[in-house]
Amino acid sequence: MTKNIGSIDKVVRFIIAIVIGVLYFTNIITGTLGIVLLVVGAILAITAFLNFCPIWAALGVRTVPEPKS
């Protein structure tokens, strides 16, 4: 797997995952919506940790800066 998530994208994904987790565990978001958002948050955290997003790969998007030559 080639890295396709840059540092800003990675930080944004972690922040969104943390916010969703806090909202869920403080019962601000509940029910089916809460569970769905919790799964989305987990996916965002995993993709940020792995530095690879399969959706970005399928769309041909890379947020990693190109190396200078």
28 within a domain of the structure (yes/no):
yes
64 within a domain of the structure (yes/no):
no
pLDDT of residue 2: 84
CB 44, CB 9: distance < 8 Å: no
For every one of its 69 residues, what pLDDT tens digit does the chain have, with 9 covering 90 and above?
Answer: 788 999 999 999 999 999 999 999 999 999 999 999 999 999 999 999 999 999 999 999 999 888 887
pLDDT of residue 65: 85
30 within a domain of the structure (yes/no):
yes
27 within a domain of the structure (yes/no):
yes
State how far Cα 30 lies from the chain centre: 21
17 within a domain of the structure (yes/no):
yes
Range of the domain at 21: 7-52
Domain count, the chain: 1
pTM value is: 0.87
65 within a domain of the structure (yes/no):
no
